[in-house]
Amino acid sequence: MGVNLVASSMELEAPPPLLERPRPRLAQRRPAVLVVDDDASLRAVIAVALRRAGYHVLEAADGMDAIDRVAEARSALGVRLGAILTDVCMPRLSGLDVLTVLHCASVRIPVILMTAFLDKNVREEARTLGATAVLAKPLDLATIVASVDATVRSNGRNPLSS
């Protein structure tokens, strides 16, 4: 294996098959998206749609799980969270609580909130905490993917703050 420097013809030996496989180009991959919802079936459907759109998807069942996933992603080499898509009403920690924890820890990952109970107070609190968008449920998958695409493209600039 390797280079045969002793041979008079200076021929290279064939590399092992593992080295011949093309390696993924990390720079061209879309960033990861963390999908947080206590409804496992909705979370799975959203995750599939985002994967089909080319995103690497991480999943969390509630706000506490989301904070753990963010910490894991930040410590993992090659994982960059481009956005968090989270439900507002969940057990343990709500989506607004997740946003508060990230805000207090100065973690700069764009957060898109989803809620079936969109009112002025939720929208105002989301704006104060730095949410990128608040989407009203029920949502169609095209709207979710478009919102994530826009958030990732804008590098998380906050349209709610304007």
pLDDT digits (tens, 9 = 90+) for 53-75: 999 999 999 999 999 999 988 88
pLDDT at 29: 63
Average pLDDT over residues 78-103: 92
Tell me the pTM.
0.78
pLDDT at 102: 92
Percentage of the chain surpassing pLDDT 90?
54
- Please tell me the distance from the alpha carbon of residue 148 to that of residue 151, in angstroms, as a whole number: 5
CA distance to 4, 15, 21, 23, per residue, from 18 (Å) = 19, 8, 6, 10
Q: Which residues, 6 or more positions from 47, have their beta carbon under 8 angstroms from its beta carbon?
A: 35, 57, 59
Mean pLDDT score across all residues of the chain: 81
For tokens 């080295």, the residue is: 19
Is there a contact between 63 and 36 (Cβ–Cβ < 8 Å)? Answer: yes
Torsion of CA 36, 40, 43, 44, to 10 degrees: 140
CATH topology of domain 27-139: Rossmann fold (3.40.50)
CA angle 47, 41, 122 (to 5 degrees): 80
Q: Per-domain residue ranges for the chain? A: 27-139
Whether pLDDT at 23 is above 60: no
pLDDT digits (tens, 9 = 90+) for 132-153: 999 998 889 999 999 999 999 8
Which carries the bigger pLDDT value, residue 131 or residue 15?
131
Strands ordered across the beta sheet of 81-87: 56-60, 32-36, 81-87, 111-115, 133-136
